[in-house]
C-alpha cells in the first residue's frame, strides 16, 4: 500500500528546507530573555539555561516549531558567553527538544519515541510512517497548560503519603472530590464531595453513568451529531441510540422535547455547553424547556460538560443543566480544561454516589490513577489554568484566523462562529465532506468528516475544523482544505482510503 500523505503542500516549498513548513513563529533573543527572566542562576550555567528553555517548550510558552534565536544573539541578550548558549542548545538537541537544520536555525520540538522528528506535535500520537508537514486536526484538544510540570513534581512530592495504602481510590481521592465539589458550588450548583466520583475521562464517565441507569438493549436519547467516542461507547454497551437533531445553530428544543415526550427514553445524553462538534451553547430558556420535558417523561439527563470552560467571547454562561434538571447527572473532564494526558474526569450525581454507579465502576476500571488525581488537585488548587490565560487567547486568535481564511478561500462554506469550544462545524454545500477529507489527507491535512459525528446516516456535507493550532497553521490548513475542495470539484482521483483516522477527540 502506498504510504499516505504523499502530496504535501509543503513539498512544493522543499527548497526552503523541510522544516520550513512547520515553522510558525520566531522567538527573538529579547523575547526569550524576557521569558527566561534573564540568565538562570546556578551552575553549570549551560545546564541551567537548557533546563529553563526546556521548561518553556514543555509548557507551551515557546510554541512547537518556533525558531529560537541564534546562539550569538541569545548570548548577547543574556550577557552570557557564547559557549554557554552553544552547550545549552547542544544539550537540548541531544535530549530531543531542539532540531537544527542549516538555513532553518534551531526549532523547538518535543522528543518523540523512535527518535527526533521536527513534526512532533503534542496533539498527534507518533506513528510509524508519519511524514513531516502534516496538520492533524482530528483532535480538538489543547496543549498542556503552563505549570503542568510543576504540578507533576508536586504530586510526586506528596505521593509518599499515599504509598502505605493499596492505591485504589474506588470513588476517587477525597481531596479531589472536595475540590471539584467546590467548583460546582462556584458555578451555582451546591455539591457535597460525596456526590463526586472520579473517573479516567468523560467518555468512561458517561458510560458508567448511563450503565448505572439502564440495561443493554434499552434506548438512550443522544444528540445527532455528537461526540463520536461517547456514541461508540454506548453502542458497545449494547444500548440503542435514538437521535435528537442538533442544527449548526443549536437545538430545536421544541422538537427535541417532543422526541423525549413521545419516546420516553430512560436517559438523554446531552452536551449543552459548547456542543461537540457544533460549538452551540444551549440557552437557559432552552435548558428549562428540555428539563420540563425530561421530568414529564421520567428521563434522566446525563450531561457532558467537558468543554464548558473553553469560553472565548464575553458571554453570560447559562446555569448548569443540573440547576434546571435536579435529577441530572453531570460529567466533567480535565481533558479540555487542562490536558488530555491527565486522563482524569468525574461524575456528579444528584445525591451521594450510589451503589449502582459504584458497581459499574468496580466492574470497569476499578478507579482512576492516583498520581494524575494528585496532579489535577494541584492544578485546581493553584488555579494554574487561569494563570495560563494565554491558552484561551491563542485559541481565540486561531479561531479568528480559521474564520477569516474560510471566508476568503471558501466563500461558499457555511458555519456559525462559536463563542466557545474548540471547533468550527463547516458545511460544504453540494459536496461530500468525506471525499474532501480524503483529498485533504493527500495534502497533509487530517480532518474528521461529518459522518463520524452522525448517529444515523447523514451530515455528509459537514466537516469539523478544530482551531487548535496557531493562526498561521490554521490559515495553511484552510488553504489545503480549499485545494481539496477544488480537487473534488474537478473530480481528481485520490489514492487515499478512508478509515485511517486514528482517534477523533
Ligand X SMILES: Cc1ncc(COP(=O)(O)O)c(C=O)c1O
Q: Residue with the closest Cβ to ligand X?
A: 201
Of residues 345 and 420, the one with the C-beta less far from ligand X: 345
Does 227 participate in binding ligand X (rule CB under 6 A)? yes
CA distance 302 to 450: 23
CA distance 268 to 66: 45
Query: What number of chain residues touch ligand X (CB under 6 A)?
Result: 14
Q: Nearest distance from residue 412's CB to ligand X, in Å?
A: 27
State in angstroms the smallest separation of the CB of 260 from ligand X: 20
Q: Which of residues 280-309 bind ligand X (CB under 6 A)?
A: 304, 306-307
Cβ closest to ligand X, residue 304 vs residue 476: 304
Smallest separation (angstroms) from ligand X to the CB of 166: 25
From 33, 276, 337, 349, residue interacting with ligand X (rule: CB under 6 A): 276
268 near ligand X (CB under 6 A): no
Smallest distance from the beta carbon of 307 to ligand X, in angstroms? Answer: 5
Contact between 349 and ligand X (CB under 6 A)? no
d(CA 159, CA 155): 6
DSSP for 166-234 reads: ----SS--HHHHHHHHHHHHHTT----GGGEEEESSHHHHHHHHHHTT--TT-EEEEEES--HHHHHHH
Interaction between residue 144 and ligand X (CB under 6 A): no
Residues 150 and 165: beta-carbon distance below 8 Å: no
Q: Dmax over Cα atoms in the chain, in whole Å?
A: 76
The verdict on 340 binding ligand X (CB under 6 A) reads yes
- 3-state DSSP assignment of residue 82: helix
From CA 342, how far away is CA 330, in angstroms rounded? 19
Q: Give yes or no for residue 345 binding ligand X (CB under 6 A).
A: yes
Binding of ligand X at residue 505 (CB under 6 A)?
A: yes
Binding mask of the shown chain, residues 161 to 200, with x at each position contacting ligand X by CB under 6 A: ----------------------------------------
Which of the stretches 13-21, 46-54, 251-259, 333-341 binds ligand X when contact is defined by CB under 6 A?
Answer: 333-341
Decide whether 348 or 480 has the Cβ nearer to ligand X.
348
φ and ψ at residue 337, rounded to 5 degrees: -70, -35
Q: How many of the other CB atoms lie within 10 Å of CB of 67?
A: 20
Min dist CB 335 to ligand X, Å, is 3
Least separation in angstroms between CB 44 and ligand X:
41
- Out of 202, 347, 401, 440, which residue is the one contacting ligand X (CB under 6 A)? 202
Q: Which residues contact 308 (CB under 8 A, 6 or more apart)?
A: 273, 274, 317, 320, 332
Q: How far is the CB of 279 from ligand X (least distance, A)?
A: 10
Instruction: List, as one string, the DSSP characters of 84-107.
Output: HHHHHHHHHHHTTSEEEETTTEEE
Contacts of 389 (CB under 8 A, 6+ apart): none
Number of alpha carbons in the 13 Å side-chain half-sphere of residue 287: 22
CB closer to ligand X, 21 vs 142: 142
For the record, the C-alpha cell of 439 comes out as 483529498
Name which position in 195, 299, 333, 373 contacts ligand X (CB under 6 A): 333
Q: Is 233 one of the binding residues for ligand X (CB under 6 A)?
A: no
Shortest separation between residue 204's beta carbon and ligand X, angstroms: 7
Q: What DSSP element (H or E) covers 345?
A: strand 345-348
Can you tell me the distance from the alpha carbon of 324 to that of 419, in angstroms, rounded to the nearest whole number? 22
CA separation for the pair 44, 52 (Å, rounded): 13
Q: How far is the CB of 371 from ligand X (least distance, A)?
A: 17
Residue 321 binds to ligand X (criterion: CB under 6 A): no
Residue 428, SS3?
coil
Of the candidate residues 45, 271, 291, 438, the single one contacting ligand X (CB under 6 A): 271
Q: Does 145 sit near ligand X (CB under 6 A)? A: no
| Cα distance between residue 168 and residue 144, in whole Å | 26
Nearest CB to ligand X, comparing residues 33 and 212:
212
CB of 196 to ligand X, least distance (A): 15
Residue ranges binding ligand X (CB under 6 A): 201-203, 227, 271, 276, 304, 306-307, 333, 335, 340, 345, 505
Amino acid at each position: 500500500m502506498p504510504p499516505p500523505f504523499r502530496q504535501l503542500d509543503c513539498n512544493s516549498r522543499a527548497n526552503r528546507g523541510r522544516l520550513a513548513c512547520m515553522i510558525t513563529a520566531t522567538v527573538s533573543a529579547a523575547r526569550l530573555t524576557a521569558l527566561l527572566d534573564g540568565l538562570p542562576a546556578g551552575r553549570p550555567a549551560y545546564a541551567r539555561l537548557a533546563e529553563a528553555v526546556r521548561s518553556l517548550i514543555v509548557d507551551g510558552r515557546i510554541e512547537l516549531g518556533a525558531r529560537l534565536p541564534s546562539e550569538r544573539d541569545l548570548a548577547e541578550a543574556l550577557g552570557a558567553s557564547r559557549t554557554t548558549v552553544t552547550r545549552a542548545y547542544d544539550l537540548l538537541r541531544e535530549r530531543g527538544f531542539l532540531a537544527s537544520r542549516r538555513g532553518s536555525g534551531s526549532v523547538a520540538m518535543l522528543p518523540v519515541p523512535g527518535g527526533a522528528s521536527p513534526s512532533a506535535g503534542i496533539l498527534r500520537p507518533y506513528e510509524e510512517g508519519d511524514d513531516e508537514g502534516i496538520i492533524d486536526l482530528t483532535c480538538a484538544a489543547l496543549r498542556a497548560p503552563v505549570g503542568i510540570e510543576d504540578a507533576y513534581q508536586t504530586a510526586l512530592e506528596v505521593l509518599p503519603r499515599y504509598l502505605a495504602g493499596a492505591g485504589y481510590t474506588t470513588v476517587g481521592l477525597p481531596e479531589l472530590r472536595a475540590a471539584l465539589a467546590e467548583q460546582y458550588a462556584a458555578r451555582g450548583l451546591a455539591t457535597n464531595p460525596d456526590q463526586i466520583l472520579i473517573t479516567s475521562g468523560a467518555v468512561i464517565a458517561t458510560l458508567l453513568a448511563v450503565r448505572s441507569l439502564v440495561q443493554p438493549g434499552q434506548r438512550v436519547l443522544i444528540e445527532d451529531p455528537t461526540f463520536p467516542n461517547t456514541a461508540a461507547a454506548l453502542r458497545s454497551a449494547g444500548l440503542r441510540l435514538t437521535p435528537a437533531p442538533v442544527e449548526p445553530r443549536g437545538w430545536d428544543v421544541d422538537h427535541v422535547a417532543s422526541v423525549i415526550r413521545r419516546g420516553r427514553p430512560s436517559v438523554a445524553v446531552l452536551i449543552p455547553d459548547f456542543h461537540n462538534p457544533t460549538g452551540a451553547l444551549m440557552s437557559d430558556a432552552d435548558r428549562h424547556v428540555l428539563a420540563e420535558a425530561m421530568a414529564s417523561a421520567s428521563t434522566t439527563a446525563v450531561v457532558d460538560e467537558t468543554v464548558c470552560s473553553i469560553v472565548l467571547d464575553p458571554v453570560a454562561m447559562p446555569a448548569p443543566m443540573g440547576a434546571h434538571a435536579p435529577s441530572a447527572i453531570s460529567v466533567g473532564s480535565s481533558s479540555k480544561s487542562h490536558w488530555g494526558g491527565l486522563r482524569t474526569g468525574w461524575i456528579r450525581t444528584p445525591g451521594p454516589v450510589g451503589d449502582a454507579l459504584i458497581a459499574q465502576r468496580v466492574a470497569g476500571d476499578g478507579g482512576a490513577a492516583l498520581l494524575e488525581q494528585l496532579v489535577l488537585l494541584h492544578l485546581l488548587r493553584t488555579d494554574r489554568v487561569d494563570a495560563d490565560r494565554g491558552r484561551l487567547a491563542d485559541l481565540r486568535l486561531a479561531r479568528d484566523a480559521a474564520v477569516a481564511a474560510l471566508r476568503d478561500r471558501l466563500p461558499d462554506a457555511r458555519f456559525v462562529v462559536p463563542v466557545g469550544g474548540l471547533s468550527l462545524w463547516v458545511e460544504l454545500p453540494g459536496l461530500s465532506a468525506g471525499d474532501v477529507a480524503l483529498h485533504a489527507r493527500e495534502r497533509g491535512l487530517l480532518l474528521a468528516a461529518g459522518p463520524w459525528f452522525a448517529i444515523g446516516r447523514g451530515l455528509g456535507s459537514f466537516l469539523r475544523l478544530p482551531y487548535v493550532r496557531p493562526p498561521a497553521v490554521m490559515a495553511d490548513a484552510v488553504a489545503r482544505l480549499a485545494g481539496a475542495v477544488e480537487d473534488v470539484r474537478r473530480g481528481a482521483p485520490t489514492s487515499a482510503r478512508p478509515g485511517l483516522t486514528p482517534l477523533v477527540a
